[in-house]
Chain A
Amino acid sequence: MSQASAIPASTLQPFTQPPSLFGRSASGRIITLVFMAALLVLPLIAWFTGNTFYLDFATRIVCLSFAAVSLNLILGFGGMISFGHAAFIGIGAYMVGIPAYHGFESGWLHFPLAMAVSALFALVTGAICLRTKGVYFIMITMAFAQMAYYFFLSLEEYGGDDGLTIYNRSVLNIIDIENKVVLFLLAYAALVAGIYAVYRIVNSRFGMVIRGCQSNEARMKALGYNTYAYRLTAYVIAGAMCGLAGALLGNFQSFISPDMMSWSRSGELMFMVILGGTGTLFGPVFGAVAFLVIEEILSAFTTFWALPFGILLILSVLFIKGGLSGLIHRGLKNG
């Protein structure tokens, strides 16, 4: 029973080819660059033409993309199927909300705190979770996320079930994120930095070990690696990154509630990663954009948007192999 059995070989990147930053083919590179540029430029154009809704929407997309990128580090490259990743979003957001509630409004406190507490939560829970494999890992990560959910639910001081309003966004004395454009640019910069960090991690010696554990953990052990420590480190890095994403999201929404870490949120994050293509650098961003845009379009047409959305979800699981990245690559090969 190796972890490799959790993800079929078809969805894996060939181990001999480490992921390059923008994909291998020239056209794939262009698509990715155009896509990322559009994600940056279109919302700004919309804002300058007075359409603030699209800027808000794009900020949410970018924050959740960042969370999906962090999940992809462990799910796509490490084969650790976490069903509790939304817990880190919630923890990150509450690390903005709780200090702000007590009058500590400095972003220099909020963002490091969000990452530190998320990392600590990842360290403690990951140390236990990583003792299990396969479906047990899925379930135990979910159990810890539920614990976090109920923990914040019971904090009546901080709103409990009703959530907590953040009246002032984190104060960073060099930039003013009360300005929507600045907040969007900050989130976008964080996303790009996150993707670059994942790129550096998976191509490093450390990343090789993580990816080796995904394809054959027993072999990595036989080679003398302490795979548990490597995987736990990756889990903590992903948790800290997602905590930062949560802190940005909390700032953007100006309202946080335990609902941000409910198990369906974790499921959505997982779906973004799978939809985009596991184990690709930009896949989670494609997935998050596709997921949120489809959700938005459908909900504009009908209050029963979840029905076609659920059908799309099932169809994509049944028929799209390797996610949107895989589709793009296959399309390029055939076309």
Chain B
Amino acid sequence: MSTLFLIQFLNGLQLGVLLFLLAAGLTLVFGIMDFVNLAHGSLYMIGAFFCATLTFWTGSFLLAVPLALVCTALVGLIVETGVIRHLYQRDHLDHVLATFGFILIADTLVHLIWGPEGIAIPLPEFLQGQVNILPGVIFPAYRLVIITAGLIVAAGLYLLISHTRLGMLIRAGASNRTMVSALGIDIKTLFTAVFALGAVLAGLAGMLIAPITEATIGMGNDIIITAFVVIIVGGIGSMKGAFIAALLIGLIDTLGRSFLDDILKVFMPVNAAETAGPAISSMLIYIIMAAVLALRPQGLFPPKVR
């Protein structure tokens, strides 16, 4: 039981780290540009497909990742300057609809270019094995890599946002857009840079998970809704909130799916618990989000300045 718990805990952590990569971009774009980007999940998918193709071209997953990141950033740049830039002044309703259109376009384009089948990405030999994390407890090495990579990126983002000039501008932009542009900062370029950064983070999440799940059409459409749950729970615009909420939601979702029916068996008949367990565990994160919105609408860790 405790072994299983440890493994599921690590799986939850891995999901949480991926959710953070997605939510970080989402919360930046949302917090700074006040833009609801439903199509953020499409960048996750596009990143995975670029990585798949580049892995086959270069013959190495490790070489493909940085190249694919550049490609995803380019896609982000094109989309932002082409369309999204013109939507910042609109209301959220228009954001939702336009980015909904983007999802359709992205899914179909990927279908046209890469075909309807999912693409598996081969990992380098040394990432394929299992490692002993504790005596008698083995865990796939690559999943540990995902967790580590995610945590490193999180640390890097923290440094970027709180210790660099760009980060200072991002924070300033989040608290008062008009003032930043009045001080002579080119707010348009800043927005484009933030959007591209979000695209890179989403793409990275996609290419990290693709060797496990394959790159598939529509892979971003479910996880993006979960990422929205994360930023709402964490507090829109808050990087710290996104990080904590991502790990929380990742752990709750994974552990809920594994252990909720066992927990319910303590309180109710076995039959009822086995039916209710899966039902409640798949609803669990939405229940948490609804509770947070009802009781603390600004999220658990709202950004300090507004």
A residues at B contact (CB < 8 Å)? 5-8, 81, 83, 128, 131-132, 134-136, 138-140, 142-144, 146-147, 150-151, 153-156, 263-264, 267, 270-271, 274, 304, 306-307, 309-314, 317-318
Contact B112 A304 (CB under 8 A): yes
Cβ–Cβ contact B83 & A8, under 8 A: no
B225 proximity list for chain A (CB < 8 A)? 142, 146, 263
Given contacts A313-B101, A314-B98, A317-B101, A138 and B92 within 8 Å (CB-CB): yes
What is B's interface to A at a CB cutoff of 8 Å? 36, 38, 83, 86-87, 90-94, 96-98, 100-105, 107-109, 111-112, 221, 225, 228-229, 232, 236, 275, 278-279, 282-283, 286-287, 289-290, 293-294, 297
Question: Contact between B228 and A139 (Cβ–Cβ < 8 Å)?
Answer: yes
Q: Which residue of B lies closest to A312 (CB)?
A: B101
Contact A317 B98, CB 8 Å, known A8-B91, A132-B297, A263-B225: yes
Residues of chain A within 8 A (CB-CB) of B96 are: 81, 83, 138, 267, 270
| Nearest A residue (CB) for B282 | A150
Q: Which of A144, A155, A271 makes the CB contact (< 8 A) with B290?
A: A144
Tell me the dominant secondary structure on chain A's binding face.
helix
Asked if residues A135 and B104 are in contact (CB atoms below 8 Å), the reply is no
**Which chain B residue shows the least CB distance to A145?**
B286
Select B104's contact among A134, A138, A140, A313, beta carbons within 8 Å: A313
Contacting pair A310 B279 (CB below 8 A) = no
Contacts of A131 in B (CB 8 A): 293-294, 297
Min Cβ gap A216→B in Å is 16
B83 touching A132, Cβ below 8 Å? no
Q: Is the CB of A311 within 8 A of B290?
A: no
Please list 19 pairs of residues, one from A and one from B, whose beta carbons are closer than 8 Å in the complex, sorted by A's number.
A7-B91, A132-B294, A139-B228, A142-B225, A142-B228, A143-B229, A151-B279, A154-B279, A154-B282, A263-B225, A264-B221, A270-B93, A271-B100, A307-B109, A307-B112, A309-B101, A309-B104, A313-B98, A314-B105
Q: Which residue in A153, A154, A310 is a CB contact (below 8 Å) of B103?
A: A310
Residues of chain B within 8 A of A154, CB atoms compared = 275, 278-279, 282
What are the 3 closest A-B residue pairs judged by CB atoms, nearest first? A313-B101, A310-B104, A154-B279
